[in-house]
Amino acid sequence: MSAHVLDMVDVSRRREVEEGVIRIVRRSFAVDVVRAQHARIRPTPPTRDEVRRRTNIVYSWLATMRNDLGYSISRCLDVLGDALRASLDGIDYEPASADSGWTPAKEG
């Protein structure tokens, strides 16, 4: 999956995307540890299969955000962590459309 999605990314930004995905997946495991500590249970160490599963979820969201919503790479990297967490928690995640967001009010 990742190779196909990375084909949609400009060559000059691929390393940034790959590193961003790695950070997002690592952060998701760190959140799992904190949640386990709050629940007073032992966190499950990440397996290769779980790392792969989470990575594929992130790349799937990246493809959706780039192709369907027209997000920039920067915006994708900003919100992919939220998308992954929602997917892991079984919560529907609805990314905002590319043209939504804050814009300055016109004066006059």
Q: 54-95 pLDDT, tens per residue?
A: 999 999 999 999 999 999 999 999 999 999 999 999 999 998
Q: How many CB atoms lie within 10 A of CB 6?
A: 17
Domain coordinates in residue numbering, the chain = 2-89
Using alpha carbons, list the distances in angstroms from residue 75 to 43, 57, 59: 31, 17, 14
Rounded Cα–Cα distance for residues 1 and 36 (Å) = 30
Look up residue 83 and give its two tokens.
Answer: 């998308």
| Cβ atoms of residues 61 and 84 within 8 Å | yes
d(CA 103, CA 17): 26
In this prediction, residue 107 carries a pLDDT of 58
Please give the share of the chain, as a percent, with pLDDT higher than 90: 74
Q: Residue 65: which of 101, 97, 23 has the closest Cα?
A: 97
Which one-letter DSSP state was computed for residue 104?
P
Which of 59, 96, 90 is CA-nearest to residue 77? 59
